[in-house]
Amino acid sequence: MAFYPRFIYDQGIKNSFSFAEEPHVTEPVEKAIIVSDRASLFNLLIGLSDYAISSGILSVDLNGENIVAVPFIPGGTTEISYIHQAYLSLTPLAQRYRAMLRPYIDFYFSEHDIGGEAIEQ
């Protein structure tokens, strides 16, 4: 993959590096293309047959069949989390969103024989 430039999804200056979507963003690459919106990223990936490193949790319903997740397991684990204020409960919309993510995450774990807990309660 070193032959191809790596696309990096930059979420802006107000986003903490601790919450970066790409787990290997600090690894050096010869060429990198930084994109600041997901639609442009996906259009470029499709048009150039390129790659980006991310969580890999994708919805065919939302992104179409041209964007696929290919497992990249360098021996570590990636923890995907969400943050909310401790003194506030998740809104009904946030609870619904979390519930809708569960089947995609469970499917990903089962398809790629990866152990783990999808979404802890």
**Local structure of residue 90 (DSSP, 8 states):** P
Chain segment 35-71, per-residue pLDDT in tens: 888 788 888 888 888 777 776 667 777 777 888 777 6
Q: What is the pLDDT of residues 70-97, one digit of tens each?
A: 766 655 566 667 777 888 888 999 889 8
Lookup: tokens for 71 = 């497992």
Side chain identity, residue 9: Y
Q: How many CA atoms lie within 13 A of 97 on its CB side?
A: 6
Ranges of beta strands (E only) in the chain are: 6-9, 32-35, 51-52
pTM of the model: 0.53
25-50: string of b/e by CB count within 10 Å (b at 16+)?
beeeeeeeeebeeeeebbeebeeeee
Task: Give the whole-angstrom CA distance, residue 91 versus residue 88.
Answer: 8
